[in-house]
Amino acid sequence: MNTKRGYTMTTRAKSAEETRQRILRAAFDLQSQRLASEIGLDAVADEAGVSVQTVLRHFGNRAGLFDATVVFANEQVAEERRAPVGDVPAAIRILVDHYEQRGEMALMMLAQETSYGHVRKLSDAGKMMHRGWVGEVFAPYLDGLAAAAREEVIDLLVVATDVYTWKLLRRDRGHSRSLTEHHMNTLVTAVLTVASDRKDD
């Protein structure tokens, strides 16, 4: 067995994957700084510290890059928002931390979702992820609800924890981070009280 050859191939594969991840990170980060129409392959390449040819070798074209970025973004956001199931204060704290870091980017994406196909994919994936996050994190409070009531409560929790709710409190009202977290906590607690009452009906 040629151990040296195997080691060289493994090292190359690892290096190629690191380059791929660096390009995806660059494309993801640029979307918090620029409109989608302003993000060309040259900008992504510069941000990642590679050539445009390297970007094309990994993703084929701009569409391929942004399709892969949707998957990368989902994984990144899911990790940033990971929260303990059933712990409302911890979940809201983690969510607000995420919005403090990514909220402006999310709002920029939402503002462009009707204009650019890949942005629509990103925002649709984000909406689905948020609803899934709500269903998972608040699952103990949803158990025992009839299907229609469960969906209604999830709708309300999605609104109470949405990035637009964060924006209204944090940006439009100018509240501090801690007060924003407090208000979102109050909204969620009120919805969960409704959920508890529905179980008693």
Task: Mark whether 53 and 98 lie in a shared domain.
Answer: no
Q: CA 184 to CA 179: how far, in whole Å?
A: 9
Identify the domain boundary among 75, 92, 114: 75
Q: How many domains does the chain have?
A: 2
Task: Mark whether 108 and 54 lie in a shared domain.
Answer: no
Task: Mark whether 127 and 195 lie in a shared domain.
Answer: yes
Task: Mark whether 70 and 108 lie in a shared domain.
Answer: no
Question: What pLDDT score does 115 carry?
Answer: 79
Residue 183 has pLDDT above 80, yes or no: yes
Task: Mark whether 143 and 59 lie in a shared domain.
Answer: no
Identify the domain boundary among 48, 75, 102: 75
Residue 199 has pLDDT above 80, yes or no: no
Q: 60 — alpha (psi -120 to 50), left (phi > 0) or beta?
A: left
Q: CA 99 to CA 5: how far, in whole Å?
A: 46
- For residue 43, the domain's CATH number is 1.10.357.10
Task: Mark whether 34 and 51 lie in a shared domain.
Answer: yes
Task: Mark whether 65 and 90 lie in a shared domain.
Answer: no
Q: Which long-range contacts (CB under 8 A, 24 or more apart) does 79-88 make?
A: 81/129, 81/133, 83/133, 83/137, 84/137, 85/136, 85/137, 85/139, 85/140, 86/137, 86/138, 86/139, 86/140, 86/141, 88/138, 88/185, 88/188, 88/189, 88/192
Q: Which helix (H) or strand (E) holds 16?
A: helix 3-30
13-27 tens-digit pLDDT: 788 889 999 999 998
Task: Mark whether 67 and 110 lie in a shared domain.
Answer: no
Please, what's the b/e burial string for 165-184 (b: 16 or more CB within 10 A of its CB; e: otherwise)?
bbbebbeeeebeeeebbbbb
For the residues 135-164, what does the mean pLDDT come to?
95
* Residue 97's pLDDT band (cuts 50, 70, 90): very high
Structural domain containing residue 118: 81-201
Q: 50 — alpha (psi -120 to 50), left (phi > 0) or beta?
A: beta
125-141 tens-digit pLDDT: 889 999 999 999 999 99
Winning range, highest mean pLDDT, from 28-37, 38-47, 134-143: 134-143
* Closest by CA position to 130, among listed 176, 187, 91, 169: 91
Residue 189 has pLDDT above 80, yes or no: yes
* Closest by CA position to 31, among listed 55, 66, 7, 80: 66
* Residue 8's pLDDT band (cuts 50, 70, 90): low
Residue 150 has pLDDT above 70, yes or no: yes
Task: Mark whether 85 and 71 lie in a shared domain.
Answer: no
Task: Mark whether 129 and 143 lie in a shared domain.
Answer: yes
